Structure 1
Amino acid sequence: MQLDEIFSEIEKIAPPSTAAHWDKSGLQVASDRKTADALAVCLDPTPTSIRAALNHNAHCIVCHHPLSLSPDLPCCLDAYHEALRLLLTANVALYAAHTPLDANPAGPAGWLAEELNLTNRAVLDPLADTVADFPEALPSGFGLAGDLPASLEGSAFVRLLSRHIDLSTATISGCLPRFVTRVAYCTGSGASLLPQAGKENAEIFITGDVKYHTALSTEICLLDVGHHSLEEEMMRRMSQLLAERLSPLTVCFVPSESPLRLAVSP
C-alpha cells in the first residue's frame, strides 16, 4: 500500500488541523519507500517499541507521542539517537498522531466512554467542528463527560473501572463520592481540564500526571490513573481501526508497559 494512502487515512482519524499549537504531530522520520507491506502501531517511539515493530517487518510505524517535542541534533548517544538510528538504518517511516488523535472524541480516544456506555456526552474543551470522517460525532476537542447507565456507589465504580484500566499505581485526590452518576476523563495529562469536569457536574474526573497542588485543591474526586493506561488502550484500538480501514495491509499493535511502578509492593 502507498505510504501516502496510509498517512491520508491516519489524518482522517486524527486531522492535523486539530493539533495543539505546541505539538509536533505528523511525519517524524521520512523514508524513501513509496509503499509498505506492514504497519506497526505503538504508544511511544522508544527503541524497544521500534525494534519490536521491525521484528514484525513493519515498513511504517504510527505512534502517539512524538519522537521529540523539541527536535534537536542527535549529538548524544541516548534513546533519541538510538530511535533515529534504528528508523533510518531500516528505512522505516515514523508518523505521530498525538493531540489530533486526542481531540477526536468519536475516535479511539472515546474508548472508555464506549466501554462505560456513557450517554449525554459532552466535550470538556471543544475546538470547533466535528471531525469530517465521523459525521455523527461530537465537536472535536479534548476530554469527555457522560452519564453512566445507572448510578453506582463510588467503590463499585472504581471496581468497574479496574476491569478496563490498570489501577495498580492509581491515586485518588478528594473524596470518593458516595454515588457516581456522571463521569469525566481525559487521556494523557488532562488535569488542566478539572474545572471543565466540574462544570459538567461530573462526580469523578479520570486522567493522568496530576500535580500536587491540583490534587490539594480539587473540589471533585480526581483519579490519577497515570499517563500510560488510557493511551495504551487508545492506541490498541487505533491499530484495530487502521486494520479495518487499510485492509489488506498487515497492521500490528506493539504493546508497552508503564514506566512507573510502586517502589514498595503492598
Structure 2
Amino acid sequence: MRIKEVTTYLEHIAPPVYQESYDNAGLITGSPDTEVMGVLVCLDATEAVMDEAIEQGCNLIVAHHPIVFRGLKKITGRTYVERVIIKAIKYDLAIFAIHTNLDNVFHQGVNSRIAEKLGLIHTRILAPKQVNKKLQIFTPASLVAPLQEALTDIGVQRVEGIKEANYMNQPGRSGMINGEMRVKLEVSYPEAVQSAVLGAVRRFQNEARIDYDLFPLETVTPEVGSGMIGELPKPMEAEAFLLMLKQQMQADCVRHTAVLDRPIEKVAVCGGAGGFLLSAAIAQGAQIFVTADYKYHEFFDADGKIIIADIGHYESEQFTIQLLFDIISRKFSNFAVHCTKVRTNPVFYLT
C-alpha cells in the first residue's frame, strides 16, 4: 500500500479544490510512492509528534494543520517549522495536511463532528459555496465511464450528479459517430476547479471526437461550504447550554457574550477561527455561535442578537483527530493507524 493510495482516498473525502485560497492542504513532505508502514493522525505536526511517529514506526503523518503555509527560503533549523521539515526529510516521514478542505465538507467534516458532539439535528452547511460553472460534454458512449472517473478524481462528484442523455436532436451535432451513440454529460463545479476539469476533458479529445459547451451558473451546493447550523432536540436555557458546551468540547473555559433572555434552539458552529460567519449565523436565526479565535472588539458584533461562544481553537478542532482516525482505519486494514498522544495546544489556562 503506497502513500498516494491513502492520500487519494482522503482527497476523495475532502477534495483539495474545496480548500481556501490561503491554505496549503496536501502532501507537504515525502514521496507518494513510498510504502505505508503506519499512520499517525494529529492536529499539528510538531517536533514532538514527529518523534512520536518515529517511535511508533509510522512514516505517514496526517495532520489537520499544514506545517508549511508559505514558502520557505531557508531550511536551517532556526524555526520549529524548519526543524520539523529537516526531521521529516532525515527520517523519510511524509506529512499530509487536510485542512480547510475538511472544514468545508458536510459529510465527515470538522464541523459535522462538532455538531455530533453537541447533539445537533437537522444540520446543514451555514455558508454554502457558490457553484458557478456548468459544462456540457458530448462524447461517445464508450468514454462515459472513464470520463466520469476522471472528473470524480478531480473532486466534482459532490458538486452535482453527472447526468447522461442522448442528444440525437442537438442542432449541428450528430447522435452517432463511427456507428457509436454519443451522449451528453452535464457537470457543475466551482470555478476554482475549472482548469482541472477542462484539462481532463481535453485529454480524452485525443481518443475521440468530444465537444463541450461552458455556461455560467448562479447556484450553490448545499454540501460544500463553511460552518454548520443545526437544532437541539429540545430547547435549552443559555446557561445550561454553555455548561454542556464546556463539558462536551472538553474546554478549560468558554469566553462568551452576554446571555440572552431566550432559550437556545438553533446552534451555529465553526471549528477554528469562524468570526467571518457571524452574520450568516444571525441571518439564519441561531441563538448561539460556537467558534474560536475571537478578539475583544469582535465580541461587540453580537449586538444583543446572538451569543458568541469562543471555546478555543484547539478545543474546537481536537475531535478532528478521532475523525481522521475513523476515516482511515475504516478504509484500510493493512497498516496500523494511531492517534497522537501529544497535546499540541500552545495555549495554557491558569484556573
| TM-score, structure 2 normalization | 0.70
Alpha-carbon distance, 1:125 to partner: 1.7
The structure with the largest strand share of the pair is: 2
Structure 1: gaps (5+ residues): none
Alpha-carbon distance, 1:32 to partner: 7.2
Q: Separation in 1 of the partners of 2:244 and 2:259?
A: 18
CA offset digits 1:104-158 (Å, max 9, x no partner): 12114111212333223221221257984799x9411110000100001111112
CA offset digits 1:60-113 (Å, max 9, x no partner): 111011112112122452211210121111101111101101011211411121
CA offset digits 1:164-221 (Å, max 9, x no partner): 2122132112335541000001001111101111111100000010012211221310
* Range with bigger deviation, 208-217 or 94-103: 208-217
The match for 1:206 is 290
* Range with bigger deviation, 150-159 or 184-193: 150-159
The letter for the 2-side match of 1:114 is: E
Alpha-carbon distance, 1:14 to partner: 1.4
Structure 1 segment 98-137 matched on structure 2, within 5 A: 98-109=99-110, 110-128=112-130, 132=157
Q: Separation in 1 of the partners of 2:296 and 2:17?
A: 33
Which residue of 256, 261, 264 corresponds with 2:348? 261
**Contact residue 43 and residue 63 of structure 1 kept, 8 A:** yes
Q: Tell me whether 1:159 sits opposite 2:243 in the alignment.
A: yes
The match for 1:60 is 60
Q: Tell me whether 1:8 sits opposite 2:94 in the alignment.
A: no
What is the count of residue pairs matched by the alignment? 263
1:187 is paired with a residue whose SS is strand
Q: Separation in 1 of the partners of 2:227 and 2:9?
A: 23
Q: Tell me whether 1:227 sits opposite 2:313 in the alignment.
A: yes
Q: CA RMSD in A?
A: 2.2
Structure 1 segment 25-44 matched on structure 2, within 5 A: 25-31=25-31, 34-44=34-44
Q: Separation in 2 of the partners of 1:215 and 1:156?
A: 21
Q: Separation in 2 of the partners of 1:116 and 1:134?
A: 27
* Range with bigger deviation, 251-260 or 185-194: 251-260
**Contact residue 166 and residue 225 of structure 1 kept, 8 A:** no
Which residue of 232, 236, 242 corresponds with 2:322? 236
Alpha-carbon distance, 1:4 to partner: 1.3
Which residue of 195, 219, 232 corresponds with 2:279? 195
**Contact residue 26 and residue 95 of structure 1 kept, 8 A:** yes
| TM-score, structure 1 normalization | 0.91
Structure 2: gaps (5+ residues): 132-154, 161-220
Q: Separation in 2 of the partners of 1:37 and 1:196?
A: 44
The letter for the 1-side match of 2:240 is: A
Q: Separation in 2 of the partners of 1:234 and 1:194?
A: 22
